């Protein structure tokens, strides 16, 4: 987990609210990713970014948004349009052929 921090560790949201998950890295890696983990489904890609001010949708981007204003930061916003947001969210960076994961944020919708 070292070098990538995600906050908060646990997050509770009421239906209809937007929430933002933080991801910060000090690895100086250009590429950053957001994955969603659900039981029995592995990890699925939400958004990715190769450079500052550029990002692309992954496989399940609907109901999510991101920004990449700084190399170190790649926050993910879970909007009210995401119908089933309860999941474990993992931020990752990539350099060369290796992917590094943060400790994750567990989001629960009440």
Q: Which residues bind another protein (CB under 8 A)?
A: 1, 4, 6, 9, 31, 33, 40-45, 48, 50, 56, 58, 88, 90, 94, 97-104, 106
Question: At its nearest, how many Å lie between another protein and the CB of residue 40?
Answer: 6
Question: At its nearest, how many Å lie between another protein and the CB of residue 52?
Answer: 15
Which C-beta is closer to another protein: that of 13 or that of 44?
Answer: 44
Phi, psi torsion values for 103, nearest 5 degrees: -80, -15
Q: Where are the beta strands (DSSP E) in the chain?
A: 4-7, 10-13, 19-25, 31-37, 43-49, 56-57, 64-66, 76-78, 87-95, 98-101, 105-109
Q: What residues are paired with 73 via a beta bridge?
A: 24, 70
Which C-beta is closer to another protein: that of 13 or that of 80?
Answer: 13
Question: At its nearest, how many Å lie between another protein and the CB of residue 101?
Answer: 4
Question: At its nearest, how many Å lie between another protein and the CB of residue 42?
Answer: 4
């Amino acid at each position: 987990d070292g070098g990538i921090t995600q906050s908060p560790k646990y997050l509770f949201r009421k239906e209809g609210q937007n929430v933002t998950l933080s991801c910060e890295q000090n690895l100086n890696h250009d590429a950053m990713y957001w994955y969603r983990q659900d039981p029995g489904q592995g990890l699925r890609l939400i958004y990715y970014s190769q450079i500052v001010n550029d990002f692309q949708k992954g496989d399940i981007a609907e109901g999510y948004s991101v920004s990449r204003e700084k190399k170190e930061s790649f926050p993910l916003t879970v909007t009210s349009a995401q119908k089933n947001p309860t999941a474990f969210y993992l931020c990752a960076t990539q350099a060369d052929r290796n992917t590094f994961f943060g400790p994750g944020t567990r989001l629960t919708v009440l």
